[in-house]
């Protein structure tokens, strides 16, 4: 199973769609990405809308049952992490450490996570003897399969539109089953809607970064750390918004801190707002009056204090350097 739910463009280790999509303005985004299309691409070239039908059925009696979970390459999205870490009754930090592998989503080192496989295989770590052991909380990519989706933003447009297509891999016999449904019906049956809503803001952030190109430049190390925390570590983000570094700046009453601490989905949504504020200057989180000036003043005071300490240390070490040693003192006596 390859991950076929993604923002705007294919990942470097995945196979691209095998013909340019007919989509007004899309060529501006996709330019050059479809010129070397492999014939073995598992994606059918037909673009589907929500009410288009496709033929597919998957059920426990099918001969290929679980085959798709034995060769995975699945990127995890922020809401996937929340669902799975709660399923495993652990923290987001522990879940990420035990069940995921990091990778870089772009040349600027934007951190991504993939679902871990069992040692020495490409089999999903959650595949049990008979079936998926986390089925009710399976990731977005598992819910979509055998559909793929792609969010596309037309050049100079703020709107992101969804496209769908069928992913046909040779091992999957579900395409031969005599059952048709619309994309909308399939999404509902697989519980995709909730996942898409929860991951949408995150996808928009990635999409915005990709489409902004080199003019925006690489995010700072600090921005990447914040991105990592906001995307994949809700427990740490919960602690972060309770720290003095946050509460001294932001208006915690106005942002409804109590609700954020209780409701993880609201917290994820807030984390995305915070990320947009940090990365793109979209100022939607109210700050305390005078907080910025106060912070600058504190920073100046800290810098001043540090400089004074450094000057003091320099003074002491130069005295030590000038100090005559015992031999000098003796020779002066003589
Ligand atoms: S039909 Fe396809 S999706 Fe279903 S178990 Fe078989 S390989 Fe997996
Ligand atoms: S999470 Fe479940 S459905 Fe998804 S690849 Fe793993 S075993 Fe298969």
**Predicted pLDDT of residue 316:** 73
pLDDT tens digits, 123-154: 999 999 999 999 999 999 999 999 998 877 76
What number of other Cβ atoms are within 10 A of residue 10's Cβ? 19
Q: Is 88 in the pocket of ligand 1 (CB under 6 A)?
A: no
pLDDT band (50, 70, 90) for residue 42? confident
In the block, which residue shows the tokens 């969804």?
A: 162
Provide φ and ψ at 7, rounded to 5°.
-85, 125
* pLDDT of amino acid 15: 31
Residue 322 has a pLDDT of 56
Tell me, yes or no, if the pTM score tops 0.75: yes
State phi, psi for 314 to the nearest 5 degrees.
-65, -40
Ligand closest to Cα of 140 equals: 2
Are 132 and 69 in contact by the 8 Å Cβ rule? The answer is yes
pLDDT in tens, 69-108: 999 999 999 999 999 999 999 999 999 999 999 999 988 8
Is 138 near ligand 2, meaning CB less than 6 Å away? yes
C-beta of 105 in contact with ligand 2 (< 6 A): no
What does the H/E/C string look like for the chain? CECCEEECCCCCCCCCCCCCCCCCCHHHHHCCCCCCCCCCCCECCCCECCCCEEECCCCCCCCCCCHHHCCCECEECHHHHHHHHHHCCCCHHHHHHHHEEEEECCCCCCEEEEECECCCCCCECCECCCCECCHHHCCHHHHHCCEEEEEEECCCCCCEEEEEEEECCCCCHHHHCCCEEEHHHHHHHHCHHHHHHHHHHHHHHHHHHHHHHHHCCCCCHHHHHHHHHHHHCHHHHHHHCCCHHHHCCECCCCCCHHHHHHCHHHHHHHHHHHHHHHHHCCCCCCECCCHHHHHHHHHHHHHHHHHHHHHHHHHHHHHHHHCCCHHHHHHHHC
| Ligand 1 closest atom vs CA 65 | 5
Token pair recorded at residue 317 = 């070490």
Name the band, by pLDDT with cuts 50, 70 and 90, for residue 217: low
Protein residue with its CA nearest to atom 8 in ligand 2: 69
Q: Does ligand 2 come within 6 angstroms of the Cβ of 134? A: yes
Q: What is the mean pLDDT of residues 187-203?
A: 95
Residue 58's pLDDT is 96
Which residue of 54, 55, 65 sits with most ligand 1 atoms within 8 Å of its CB, as the best mutation to test the pocket?
65
* Residue 225 alpha carbon to ligand 2 centre in Å: 28
Place of tokens 């592998």: 101
Q: Given pLDDT bands bounded at 50, 70 and 90, which one contains residue 11?
A: very low
What are the residues whose beta carbons fall under 8 Å from the beta carbon of 287, sequence distance 6 or more? 249, 250, 251
Nearest ligand 2 atom, CA 124: 6
Pocket probe mutation, ligand 2, options 1, 65, 133, max atoms within 8 Å of Cβ: 1
Return the sign of the alpha-carbon dihedral for residues 214, 215, 221, 224: negative
Ligand 1 centroid to 172 CA: how many Å? Answer: 5
Residue among 148, 172, 177, 178 whose CB has most ligand 1 atoms within 8 A, to mutate:
172
- Ligand 2 centre and the CA of 17: distance in Å? 23
Question: Distance from the CA of 142 to the center of ligand 2, in angstroms?
Answer: 6
Q: Is the CB of 173 under 6 A from ligand 1?
A: yes
Cβ–ligand 1 contact at 67 (below 6 Å)? yes
Question: Is residue 124 lining ligand 2, measured as CB closer than 6 Å?
Answer: yes
Q: Is 301 exposed, middle or buried (0-12, 13-18, 19+ CB in 10 A)?
A: exposed
300 to 69, 200, 287, 288, 303: CA distances (angstroms): 55, 39, 20, 19, 5
Q: Whole-angstrom Cα distance, residue 11 to residue 6?
A: 8
Q: Of 114, 126, 128, 145, which is best to mutate to test ligand 2, by the most ligand atoms within 8 angstroms of its C-beta?
A: 126
């Amino acid at each position: 199973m390859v991950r076929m739910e993604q923002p705007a463009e294919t990942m470097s280790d995945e196979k691209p769609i095998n013909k340019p999509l007919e989509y007004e303005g899309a060529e501006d985004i996709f330019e050059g990405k479809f010129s070397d299309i492999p014939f073995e691409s598992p994606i059918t070239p037909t673009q589907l809308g929500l009410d288009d039908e496709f033929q597919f059925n998957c059920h426990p009696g099918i001969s290929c049952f679980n085959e798709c979970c034995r060769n995975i390459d699945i990127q995890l999205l922020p809401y996937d992490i929340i669902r799975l870490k709660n399923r495993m009754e652990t923290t987001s930090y522990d879940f990420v450490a035990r069940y995921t592998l990091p990778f870089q989503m772009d040349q600027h080192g934007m951190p991504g996570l993939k679902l871990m496989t069992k040692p020495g295989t490409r089999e999903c770590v959650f595949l049990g003897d008979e079936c998926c052991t986390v089925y009710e909380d399976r990731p977005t990519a598992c819910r979509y399969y055998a559909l793929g989706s792609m969010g596309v933003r037309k050049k100079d447009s703020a709107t992101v539109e969804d496209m769908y297509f069928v992913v046909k891999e040779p091992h999957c016999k579900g395409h031969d089953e005599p059952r048709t449904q619309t994309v909308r019906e399939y999404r509902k049956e697989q519980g995709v809607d909730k996942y898409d809503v929860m991951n949408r803001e995150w996808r928009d952030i990635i999409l915005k970064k990709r489409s902004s190109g080199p003019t925006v430049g690489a995010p700072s190390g600090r921005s990447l750390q914040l991105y990592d925390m906001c995307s994949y570590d809700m427990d740490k983000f919960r602690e972060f918004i309770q720290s003095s570094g946050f509460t001294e700046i932001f208006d915690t009453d106005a942002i409804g801190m109590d609700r954020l601490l209780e409701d993880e989905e609201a917290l994820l949504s807030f984390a995305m707002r915070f990320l947009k504020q940090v990365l793109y200057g979209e100022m939607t989180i109210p700050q305390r009056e005078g907080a910025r000036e106060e912070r600058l003043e504190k920073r100046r005071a800290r810098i001043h204090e540090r400089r004074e300490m450094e000057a003091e240390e320099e003074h002491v070490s130069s005295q030590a350097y000038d100090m005559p040693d015992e031999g000098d003192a003796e020779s002066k006596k003589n």
